Homo-oligomer: A and B are copies of this chain.
Amino acid sequence: MTLQEMGQAAKDAAVALATLPTATKNAVLQKAADALLIAKEQILAENKKDVQTAVTAGIKGAFIDRLTLDEKRLADMANGLREVAALNDPVGKIRSINTLENGLVIKQVSVPMGVIGMIFEARPNVTADAFGLCFKAGSAVLLRGGKEAIATNKAIVSVFQKVLEDMGLPKAAVQIVQDTSRETASEMMRLDKYLDLLIPRGGAGLIQTVVQNSTVPVIQTGVGNCHVYVDASADLQKAVNIVLNAKTQRPGVCNACESLLIHESLQDSFLPMIAEALQQKQVELRGDATVCQKVAGTVQATEQDWATEYADYILSVRVVKNIDEAIAHIRKYSTGHSEAIVTEHTKNAERFLQEVDAAAVYVNASTRFTDGGQFGLGAEIGISTQKLHARGPMGLKELTTTKYMIYGDGQIRI
């Protein structure tokens, strides 16, 4: 099948999905979860092939870890589908209703997006998550995952397609692009005739490529150069806890802290405290001149460091004169994901909340909370760092659009 044909099939499937009763959607998700477990052997066997090919190609470390499935991860994927089944149906919600003087009734109602494309790296769990969320939101999904996971992805998608067919539904509700060449990714970015939305999930390079080349509306997700600013009035113990948590609780994720800004009045109190605590956790510090002078073992930070999402046990650290300098620094280097201030000064807290331009701004809490699960959305398809349509964790609601339905009795415009 060509990508055009897949797009058309998805568009046709979307028509059927749009009006599917909630109970049917939930039944499909439950059966899909069951079917994943039933097909366990086969999926794990295909995954083993993928992993072996990757290892043979010399790929190592965290990449292999993310690629590898085992019984527990497969069970997590199945549970993820059941959790989505348990969430409220986001389709058909009345967002507003209004009766005009001429008697027209105008309802704004949430409706499915239509066809959603996803381009992502070699993480098989995304395949199941994306199907679950898009399906529950009434949209067809066209998946283009990393080439290293293709055998696994094909196995998972064929399990879902079998369930759909058994339920009398179009299997094009979920499709995986089998040709994982760069060309198919590029072609998918220009499939605006069929795709209503394209979500890239992965590193900054992938996301930038999609933004630069896509003619399909895109939601940028995930790149997080997150800052914590410790203000003069901060409670130092809270500050230590928050910085340690934001940096080290899970350093590889997008809501981890990458850069620490410290008010200059704290350079002989908080700075040595946090430096010691971080170094005990094996965090490499890259500091400005003051930090290098005060903290042994600090590497001099370069301009590049301030702009880097390390996703690792590394933290850039800068001493600033005041909150203005902190906000200006964040304005310059932030990717608009999550930013935090630690302060006991109400006015500074409010200034930070108002003036820092990011999806999530925190007072006295760890940036690690920016997450659909934590925010109570139930599940998320990604964290939007752009301003259009959705900003911050994207749940089912953000996968829908709206339609105005207008009820008249012969009204014409005068």
Contacts and interface: CB of A to CB of B under 8 A. Distances in A.
A242 B104 CA distance: 14
B387 A114 contact: yes
Interface string A104-125: 1010100101100000000000
Interface size on A, as a range, is 35 or more
Contact of A100 (B238, B349, B374, B388): B374
A249 interface: yes
Contact of A242 (B100, B238, B410): B410
A211 B218 contact: no
A313 interface: no
A397 to B, nearest CB: 10
B407 A363 contact: yes
Interface stretch (A46-54, A277-285, A352-360): A352-360
A368 to B, nearest CB: 4
Given A15-B331, A98-B376, A241-B412, 17 more contacts: A15-B355, A19-B354, A192-B211, A211-B215, A217-B217, A217-B387, A219-B388, A249-B413, A349-B407, A358-B403, A361-B404, A362-B406, A363-B407, A364-B407, A365-B411, A388-B388, A388-B401
A312 interface: no
Contacts of A217: 217-218, 386-388
A63 interface: no
A218 B192 CA distance: 13
A366 interface: yes
A61 to B, nearest CB: 24
A408 interface: yes
A407 B365 CA distance: 7
B104 A411 contact: no
B359 A413 contact: no
Nearest to A364: B408
